Amino acid sequence: MPFAYPLTGLVTLLTLIVYFWMAMNVGKVRTKLNVPAPATTGPDEFMRTLRVHENTMEGLLLFLPALWLFALSSHDLWAAVIGIFYPVARIIYARGYYEAAGKRSLGFSIGIIATGLLLVGSLIELILAAIAIYG
Amino acid sequence: MPFAYPLTGLVTLLTLIVYFWMAMNVGKVRTKLNVPAPATTGPDEFMRTLRVHENTMEGLLLFLPALWLFALSSHDLWAAVIGIFYPVARIIYARGYYEAAGKRSLGFSIGIIATGLLLVGSLIELILAAIAIYG
Amino acid sequence: MPFAYPLTGLVTLLTLIVYFWMAMNVGKVRTKLNVPAPATTGPDEFMRTLRVHENTMEGLLLFLPALWLFALSSHDLWAAVIGIFYPVARIIYARGYYEAAGKRSLGFSIGIIATGLLLVGSLIELILAAIAIYG
């Protein structure tokens, strides 16, 4: 029997690839601006590149659990349809923030909305499941 | 058939909401103390607010896997009964640390104990499952 | 019926224990070098100890989803056989980086290769599952 959540899995993989690309950008900017590890402070361009990666890490800890709770309590296809907005939003966020701190809002907002929908959807589905099992 | 781990899912959602509240507090303190992104250093109150969020992120990477490994290898209800202490502990931790660095220990300790119980419980259940399947 | 992924679960637990050990080392070096929380900058030895922990956190967000997507879409045993290289690699990474920033490459590279294999394996398995279910 095939794994029942392949689309949610593929959205997860795409998100991880976006996240890995951001980590590689931190490595590149460390070399370009001469901010060798383990330093975590430096010129503005370094800080923005670092924050893109770190803020996405912070966001993944909301997004990935929300995505999977929604998939498991609802349906693979719906989770993937909402979830696909997240990696796209984070690419927009990164490209904006790499230019200037002021250009990070659009991508950030789309990502938060997608995460919020998954959280609210999960909450409803989990309450219904709890009532069905324990009620 | 309803999702079999609704209570563990609800504990996860509650924890994510606490974590999101901490992220919003970082945004607020950035404005209040004039520490615009991408800076990650600033006055003591900023650093404490930032560390509450980051330390919780660090902790979530232990807590969430431990919670779900225990739920999946044991039972939804027991995982939720132990797990519910974690988001409560992190609220106590945050409220303490927001006041002073010295007041962060109580909440931190309760959270670590809950995480430790889930880790030890998972270890026992996983070893038993490994023996049952591969032994 | 026992939990079907006990070896993947045990690799996860081992990885979490390595990660927890790194967190405790940050606490120790804070005391030793007198860098009390909430500071996140300090002498080189403090920065290296902090970065070992943080970089492993960054890596866990790639590794754990990749490990579990591969286990769920392929097999518990294969996931564990590849996955076990990761916690070992991160111990090598930490021991190197604790000595000098230049000694962190070997462990880092082994960890990235293990993560990459799990990501590529998951991608193939998830595409096959998507075709089987939706194709």
- Cα gap A133→C78, rounded to integer Å: 34
Q: B76-83 vs B44-73: helix axis angle to the nearest 10?
A: 160
Contact status of B132 with chain C (Cβ, < 8 Å): yes
pLDDT digits (tens), chain B, 135 positions: 899 999 999 999 999 999 999 999 999 999 999 999 999 999 999 999 999 999 999 999 999 999 999 999 999 999 999 999 999 999 999 999 999 999 999 999 999 999 999 999 999 999 999 999 999
Q: C101, exposed or middle or buried, with CB in 10 Å at 0-12, 13-18, 19+?
A: middle
Q: What is the mean pLDDT of chain A?
A: 97
The Cβ of residue C132 has, within 10 Å, a number of other Cβ atoms equal to: 12
Mean pLDDT, range A111-122, rounded to an integer: 98
Q: Is A68 helix (H, G, I), strand (E, B) or coil?
A: helix
Mean pLDDT, range C66-77, rounded to an integer: 97
Mean pLDDT, range A10-20, rounded to an integer: 98
Q: Is the dihedral of CA B62, B9, C78, C109 positive or negative?
A: negative
Nearest to B64 among A48, A65, A101 (CB): A65
Q: How far is CA C98 from CA A23, A38, B16, B119, in A?
A: 21, 11, 33, 27
- Cα gap C45→A32, rounded to integer Å: 24
CB atoms C38 and B44 under 8 Å: yes
**What was the ipTM of the complex prediction?**
0.95
Q: What is the mean pLDDT of chain C?
A: 97
Contact status of B3 with chain A (Cβ, < 8 Å): yes
CB atoms A126 and B6 under 8 Å: yes
Nearest CA in chain B to C23: B58
pLDDT attached to residue B1? 84
Among B1, B7, B16, the strongest candidate for a mutation testing the A interface, having the largest count of A CBs within 10 A, is B16
- Among candidate residues B37, B13, B15, the one with its CA nearest the CA of residue B27: B37
- Exposure string (b/e) for B38-59, b if CB count within 10 Å is 16 or more? bbbebeebbbbbbbbbbbbbbb
Written as one string, the DSSP assignment of A40-59 is ---SHHHHHHHHHHHHHHHH
- Cα gap A115→A60, rounded to integer Å: 9
- Cα gap C86→C115, rounded to integer Å: 7
- Are A50 and B38 contacting, i.e. CB atoms less than 8 angstroms apart? yes
Q: Is the pLDDT of residue A70 over 90?
A: yes
Question: How many angstroms separate the CA of residue C94 from the nearest CA in chain B?
Answer: 17
User: Which residues contact residue A15 at a Cβ distance below 8 angstroms, ignoring those fewer than 6 apart?
Assistant: A60, A63, A64, A83, A86, A87, A90
pLDDT attached to residue C1? 84
Mean pLDDT, range A56-83, rounded to an integer: 97
CB atoms A3 and C72 under 8 Å: yes
Please tell me the pTM assigned to this model.
Answer: 0.96
Q: How far is CA C26 from CA C16, C53, C95, in A?
A: 16, 8, 13
Give per-residue pLDDT as tens, C7-47. 999 999 999 999 999 999 999 999 999 999 999 999 999 99
Contact status of A61 with chain C (Cβ, < 8 Å): yes
User: Which residues contact residue A51 at a Cβ distance below 8 angstroms, ignoring those fewer than 6 apart?
Assistant: A97, B37, B38, B40
CB atoms C58 and A61 under 8 Å: no
CB atoms B61 and A61 under 8 Å: yes
Q: Which residues of C touch A49 (CB under 8 A)?
A: none
**Locus of tokens 């929300």:** A66
Q: Is the pLDDT of residue A1 over 90?
A: no
User: Which residues contact residue B86 at a Cβ distance below 8 angstroms, ignoring those fewer than 6 apart?
Assistant: B11, B15, B63, B67, B111, B114, B115
Specify the DSSP class assigned to residue C33: T
